[in-house]
């Protein structure tokens, strides 16, 4: 299969598409994951191998035991008993068998437990490191990747990785140990069986190759056919109240039944393919058993092998059939897990947002920029400036969302003085929200700069910046108030103060200032009161005021307000107006509003037209011209 072109097809959902060869960086990622525990892992692997060897060598010991009873006859000549077991009686053999078996069990158990624990810790490290970097990827990444795909990486792909590396890998390794031990032990019994075993190994591989694609396709289909019924379930629970009001339960039940049946049908098909594969493998094992019987008889007659060794061969032939089948079964799952590792590795290696850095606590040494040792701690408590308001300078700003798209801001150039209240108006699509994005440096812009208090963030063009500051610190100096309040599932405290850097008094003060004190006092659990997903358990006004209190706590010198639509309800409008006049009256304010009445109190208004400044003046001068232009 040709490898997909970067940036285009790589984003397409080619579920579990194994391209035949993994990127080198995949192995590097696995190495980084296991690095701190390599020695222990190696020790457990040795213990595991010894364990399997001991358990399987029982067959050889029994073979030797049988040979001690050998009396020369027409059927077989007797082979001498190896020196190690010479003179051992029945009780002696039983004791050896007991010790060997016990040792084998203990070693195997140690390996399974120890290895699985370490391996699970290693893949968790990998997951954490991928998450750390994904949270710092450029916004374009989140624009071009549907949420579902990103979630799939962290749920289903990681699930595949964890399902293999988090435990079953020990099983898979044990199977590999078994196969290796069997090769050694059967050769120890008699070298004559080796070609037969190798032949049957190859034949099994052939059967696997024949079935591999079919198995992969059916497995992929199975996982793909599961998601629609799950998605339908999720949709249904979200719209539960609407469905009940309209009495549409039967429609949803029918649809669910149909989707579920499709999944069950696919399940049957997959099982059928698996069964066929397993029967072919079993057929091969039966063939090998017949061959071993015939060859053993012939070899024993000619005095080439002992009777005991025929027993050993029979044991391993039966066992190897099963083990090989398991091996190929696991191989398919291992490939799936490796595909998961490859997909996560892609996120691990991507370039971070310009200006973003990884915390010093990151564990994988990748090519990403990292904070200095003390820098991070200092920055945590730092402020861009102590003053309550700051100037905003926009110099020759050219901005577009990606290089192949047209410019949405074309050479903006203006300065906002500290404490000034600026309104921004313009038709829909004129670039108002885009200006906010540029202000936060959410997208890299090609020309120009945006500075607060004369300073800009240290994105990857330091030559153009006079006074570099950390991107995070720069962003913290701007508070964004949006019409759509953003709240998360958690406690009230977490929603107000995610980093837990404020005292209860400060939190209470912020709530009082936005007028939520009375509401807060009615909450039985205080700051630990639960906030549901997207603040579902709060009224629209409460949500907005909470966000406002959060902004107050941020204590940023620049406040940006973006009214996304003109269809804002009067209550929200009132809250926003109060925010500009009361809560943030001493800050530099940038207000994007659709109702011109909101803007009459601004010091100046910026009129954007198709990404350019049409006018920038006092409201009494600008608003009449603007209204005129929009009426005609």
User: Contact positions toward ligand ATP, by CB under 6 A?
Assistant: 143, 401, 405, 408, 426, 428-434, 564
**CB closer to Mg ion, 317 vs 605:** 605
Give the list of residues 6+ apart from residue 343 with CB closer than 8 angstroms, or none: 153, 157
- Looking at residue 399, the DSSP 8-state letter turns out to be E
| Min dist. Cβ of residue 144 to ligand ATP (A) | 9
Long-range contacts at 570-577 (CB < 8 A, ≥ 24 apart): 571/540, 571/541, 572/483, 572/540, 572/541, 572/544, 573/598, 575/541, 575/544, 575/545, 575/548, 576/481, 576/483
Give the pairing type, strands 604-609 and 421-425. Answer: parallel
**CB closer to Mg ion, 104 vs 426:** 426
> Which does residue 114 touch among Mg ion, ligand ATP, none (CB within 5 to 8 A, set by kind)?
none
> Which does residue 91 touch among Mg ion, ligand ATP, none (CB within 5 to 8 A, set by kind)?
none
Which residue's Cβ lies closest to Mg ion?
Answer: 433
| Min dist. Cβ of residue 609 to ligand ATP (A) | 10
**CB closer to ligand ATP, 124 vs 433:** 433
**CB closer to Mg ion, 270 vs 483:** 483
**CB closer to Mg ion, 433 vs 572:** 433
Q: Can you tell me whether residue 205 is helix, strand or coil?
A: helix
Q: Which residue has the tokens 């989140």?
A: 142
**CB closer to ligand ATP, 320 vs 437:** 437
Q: How far apart are CA 558 and CA 113, in angstroms?
A: 56
Q: Do 259 and 228 contact (CB within 8 A), yes or no?
A: yes
| Min dist. Cβ of residue 434 to ligand ATP (A) | 3
Give the pairing type, strands 468-469 and 478-482. Answer: unpaired
| Min dist. Cβ of residue 564 to Mg ion (A) | 6
| Min dist. Cβ of residue 445 to ligand ATP (A) | 13
**CB closer to Mg ion, 156 vs 482:** 482
| Min dist. Cβ of residue 397 to ligand ATP (A) | 13
**CB closer to ligand ATP, 101 vs 482:** 482
| Min dist. Cβ of residue 430 to Mg ion (A) | 9
**CB closer to ligand ATP, 163 vs 609:** 609
**CB closer to Mg ion, 76 vs 591:** 591
> Which does residue 270 touch among ligand ATP, Mg ion, none (CB within 5 to 8 A, set by kind)?
none
> Which does residue 430 touch among Mg ion, ligand ATP, none (CB within 5 to 8 A, set by kind)?
ligand ATP
Q: How far apart are CA 112 and CA 101, in angstroms?
A: 16
What are the tokens at 134?
């994904």
**CB closer to ligand ATP, 431 vs 456:** 431
Give me the DSSP letters along 533-570: GGGTTS-HHHHHHHHHHHHHHHT-SEEEEE---S---H
> Which does residue 457 touch among Mg ion, ligand ATP, none (CB within 5 to 8 A, set by kind)?
none
> Which does residue 204 touch among Mg ion, ligand ATP, none (CB within 5 to 8 A, set by kind)?
none
Long-range contacts at 524-530 (CB < 8 A, ≥ 24 apart): 526/492, 527/491, 527/492, 527/493, 527/496, 528/491, 528/492, 528/493, 529/491, 529/492, 530/490, 530/491, 530/492
> Which does residue 153 touch among ligand ATP, Mg ion, none (CB within 5 to 8 A, set by kind)?
none
**CB closer to ligand ATP, 306 vs 598:** 598
| Min dist. Cβ of residue 429 to Mg ion (A) | 8
Give the list of residues 6+ apart from residue 206 with CB closer than 8 angstroms, or none: none
| Min dist. Cβ of residue 490 to Mg ion (A) | 28
Q: How far apart are CA 54 and CA 51, in angstroms?
A: 5
| Min dist. Cβ of residue 464 to ligand ATP (A) | 23
Q: How far apart are CA 551 and CA 374, in angstroms?
A: 27
Residue whose C-alpha is closest to residue 403's, from 169, 82, 140, 33:
140
| Min dist. Cβ of residue 480 to ligand ATP (A) | 13
Q: Do 615 and 626 contact (CB within 8 A), yes or no?
A: yes
DSSP-H helix ranges across 194-306: 194-238, 240-245, 249-301
- Looking at residue 35, the DSSP 8-state letter turns out to be G
| Min dist. Cβ of residue 572 to Mg ion (A) | 16
For residue 395, count CB atoms less than 10 angstroms from its CB and return exposed for 0-12, middle for 13-18, buried for 19 or more. middle
Residue whose C-alpha is closest to residue 336's, from 15, 119, 118:
15
Q: How far apart are CA 399 and CA 593, in angstroms?
A: 21
> Which does residue 426 touch among Mg ion, ligand ATP, none (CB within 5 to 8 A, set by kind)?
ligand ATP
What are the tokens at 538?
């709060």
> Which does residue 296 touch among Mg ion, ligand ATP, none (CB within 5 to 8 A, set by kind)?
none
| Min dist. Cβ of residue 443 to ligand ATP (A) | 8
> Which does residue 73 touch among Mg ion, ligand ATP, none (CB within 5 to 8 A, set by kind)?
none
- What is the side-by-side order of every strand in the sheet holding 392-399? 409-416, 392-399, 447-452
**CB closer to ligand ATP, 266 vs 430:** 430
Residue whose C-alpha is closest to residue 173's, from 18, 46, 317:
46
- Looking at residue 463, the DSSP 8-state letter turns out to be G
| Min dist. Cβ of residue 603 to ligand ATP (A) | 21
Which residues in this chain contact Mg ion in the complex, by CB under 5 A? 432-433
**CB closer to Mg ion, 433 vs 554:** 433
> Which does residue 401 touch among ligand ATP, Mg ion, none (CB within 5 to 8 A, set by kind)?
ligand ATP
> Which does residue 116 touch among ligand ATP, Mg ion, none (CB within 5 to 8 A, set by kind)?
none
> Which does residue 428 touch among Mg ion, ligand ATP, none (CB within 5 to 8 A, set by kind)?
ligand ATP
DSSP-H helix ranges across 443-536: 471-476, 492-496, 504-513, 517-521
């Amino acid at each position: 299969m040709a490898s997909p072109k970067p940036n285009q097809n790589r984003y397409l959902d080619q579920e579990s598409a194994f391209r035949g060869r993994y990127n080198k960086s995949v192995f590097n990622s696995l190495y980084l994951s296991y690095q701190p525990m390599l020695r222990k892992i190696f020790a457990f692997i040795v213990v595991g191998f010894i364990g399997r060897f001991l358990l399987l060598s029982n067959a050889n010991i029994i073979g030797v035991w049988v040979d001690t009873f050998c009396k020369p006859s027409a059927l077989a000549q007797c082979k001498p008993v190896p020196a190690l077991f010479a003179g051992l009686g029945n009780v002696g053999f039983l004791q050896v068998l007991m010790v060997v078996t016990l040792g084998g069990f203990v070693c195997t158990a140690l390996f399974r437990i120890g290895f699985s624990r370490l391996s699970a810790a290693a893949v968790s490290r990998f997951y954490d490191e991928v998450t750390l970097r994904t949270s710092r990827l450029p916004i374009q990444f989140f624009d071009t990747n549907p949420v579902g795909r990103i979630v799939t990486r962290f749920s289903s792909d990681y699930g595949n990785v964890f399902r293999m590396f988090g435990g079953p890998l020990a099983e898979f390794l044990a199977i590999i140990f078994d196969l290796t031990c069997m090769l050694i032990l059967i050769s120890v019994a008699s070298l004559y069986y080796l070609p037969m075993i190798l032949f049957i190994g190859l034949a099994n591989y052939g059967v696997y190759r024949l079935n591999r694609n079919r198995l992969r396709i059916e497995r992929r289909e199975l996982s793909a056919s599961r998601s629609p019924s799950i998605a339908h379930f999720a949709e249904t629970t979200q719209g539960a109240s609407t469905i009940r009001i309209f009495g549409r339960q039967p429609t949803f039940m029918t649809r669910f039944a149909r989707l579920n049946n499709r999944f069950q049908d696919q399940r049957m098909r997959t099982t059928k393919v698996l069964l066929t594969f397993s029967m072919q493998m079993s057929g091969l094992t039966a063939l090998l058993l017949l061959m071993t019987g015939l060859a053993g008889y012939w070899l024993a007659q000619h005095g080439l092998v002992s009777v005991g060794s025929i027993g050993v061969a029979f044991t391993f032939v039966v066992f190897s059939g099963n083990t090989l089948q398991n091996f190929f079964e696991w191989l398919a799952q291992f490939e799936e897990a490796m595909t998961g590792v490859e997909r996560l590795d892609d996120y691990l290696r991507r370039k971070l947002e310009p200006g973003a850095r990884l915390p010093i606590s990151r564990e994988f040494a990748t090519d990403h920029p990292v904070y200095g040792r003390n820098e991070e701690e200092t920055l945590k408590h730092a402020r861009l400036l102590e003053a309550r308001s700051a100037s905003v300078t926009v110099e020759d700003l050219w901005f577009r969302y990606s290089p192949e798209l047209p410019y949405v801001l074309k050479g903006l150039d203006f300065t906002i003085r500290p404490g000034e209240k600026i309104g921004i108006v313009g038709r829909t699509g004129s670039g108002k929200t885009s200006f906010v994005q540029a202000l936060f440096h959410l997208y890299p812009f090609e020309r120009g700069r945006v500075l607060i208090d004369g300073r800009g963030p240290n994105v990857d063009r330091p030559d153009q910046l006079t006074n570099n500051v950390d991107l995070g610190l720069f962003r913290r100096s701007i508070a964004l108030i949006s019409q759509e309040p953003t709240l998360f599932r958690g406690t009230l405290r977490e929603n107000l103060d995610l980093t837990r850097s404020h005292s209860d008094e400060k939190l209470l003060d912020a709530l009082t200032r936005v007028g939520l004190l009375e509401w807060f006092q009615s909450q039985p659990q205080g700051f630990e009161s639960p906030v549901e997903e997207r603040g579902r358990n709060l009224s629209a006004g409460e949500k907005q005021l909470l966000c406002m209190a959060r902004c107050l706590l941020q204590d940023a010198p620049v406040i940006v307000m973006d009214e996304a639509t003109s269809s804002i309800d009067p209550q929200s409008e009132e809250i926003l107006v109060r925010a500009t006049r009361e809560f943030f009256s001493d800050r530099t304010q940038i207000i994007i509003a659709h109702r011109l009445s909101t803007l009459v109190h601004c010091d100046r208004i910026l009129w954007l037209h198709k990404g350019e400044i049409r006018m920038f003046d006092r409201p009494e001068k600008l608003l009449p011209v603007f209204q005129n232009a929009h009426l005609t």
